Amino acid sequence: MQTTTDTLPERARPAGAVLPPLRIGPITVDTPVVLAPMAGVTNAAFRRLCRESGAGLYVAEMTTSRALVERSPESLRIISFEPDEVPRSVQVYGVDPATVGAAVRMLVEEDRADHVDLNFGCPVPKVTRRGGGAVLPWKRDLFASIVRAAVDAARPAGVPVTVKMRKGIDEDHLTYVEAGLTAQDAGVAAVALHGRTAADYYSGTADWDAIATLKEAVTDIPVLGNGDIWSAEDALAMVEHTRCDGVVVGRGCQGRPWLFADLAAAFAGSPERIRPGLEEVAAVVRRHAELMVEHFGEESKALREMRKHMAWYFKGYVVGGELRAQLGLVSSLAELDDRLARLDHDQPYPGAPAEGQRGRAGSPKRPILPYGWLDSRELSDEFRRELHEAELSVSGG
């Protein structure tokens, strides 16, 4: 098994490897790669495909602390893991220290997680308008309180807590260095930085210089880099540019779970890469659909969830507009089989057209913030009362 939870005295670098294994508390990740949580994507089915392809730490979809405390069926589905999935990695979002602490305590006392990641990177309006996600570290006392609550709740079980964040709200309100040092002081096991602000959303180019800056500032724990890793070569370039201890991969693996095989090879110093022809891609799509049916227990729901993956899987391949549209409307395994059979299975890997950016990008957006959020770095009593109930309006996924 390439990801273990045994303790080692040192992080020795294997011969030929680009980096030593990543240590997150008691967890050792031989290939220093983390799958970023993505709502509606990184469920147990997709994580299995990634795990079968390569090595790394695979984090489940984000869920809210309140949903966990209230044991919503969706939140419990999100944190369900297969028996052979080790370590079990859960990402929690929250804006109230007491609720976050209670959620983490539930996870560790009921032995539901081996690793907890805290989300301070989400830029979507339904999160930021409540003061959460990427805009929360602006309130430094609130950020510190949430991180300490999570670390304190996880410590008795020896479960490591990590933090994933963005640079800040916008270029005029950067928080990442201060937040990284605060998280380190609070006892987290690692910090990950997406090199964009909340205002950047997913647009433009990730700021790898910011990751390098954070690495220079935070010296006692691993610093992971996130943003614009579309290939194994991008991951190597980020490490070279930033000296980070590992990378976090999000949109780059959408429709390409085999990217983790490329990453494992690259970090081991091997030039081997996966370049699938259309027949191989079709086989992965079919297996993904089967795993989704197993995960959801309902074929129609599973196939509806598969639709978003079709454009990602077939990016760059010659499929034809009509068939591509039909694949995006598939509603059963029988329909999927019929449409996959109509592909040109002899078509080789298309090269550059299949590479590069995938998933959402868009343009910069002015973050939607609570009224008066930028007026002070401290949390007023009024904001504190509002935040206590804020998670009620954020879904468990």
Q: Which residues are catalytic?
A: 122
CA atoms of 135 and 128, how far apart (whole Å) = 6
Residue 343 in contact with residue 282, Cβ under 8 Å?
yes
Give burial (CB, 10 Å; 0-12/13-18/19+) of 306: buried
Residue 358 in contact with residue 257, Cβ under 8 Å?
no
Q: Which residues pair with 57 in a beta bridge?
A: 34
CA atoms of 10 and 16, how far apart (whole Å) = 17
Side-chain-facing half-sphere of 390: CA atoms under 13 Å: 26
Concatenating the DSSP letter of every residue in 162-211 gives EEEEESBSSTTSB-HHHHHHHHHHHT-SEEEEESS-TTTTT-S---HHHH
CA atoms of 266 and 261, how far apart (whole Å) = 9
Given the structure tokens 């990427």, which residue do they identify?
134
Residue 277 in contact with residue 349, Cβ under 8 Å?
yes
**Dihedral angle at the C-alpha atoms of 104, 107, 109, 114, nearest 10 degrees?**
-100
Ranges of beta strands (E only) in 3-135 are 3-4, 22-24, 27-29, 33-35, 57-64, 89-93, 115-120
Ranges of beta strands (E only) in the chain are 3-4, 22-24, 27-29, 33-35, 57-64, 89-93, 115-120, 161-166, 190-194, 223-226, 246-249
For CA atoms 4, 5, 6, 8, give the dihedral sign. Answer: positive
Q: How many CB atoms lie within 10 A of CB 169?
A: 24
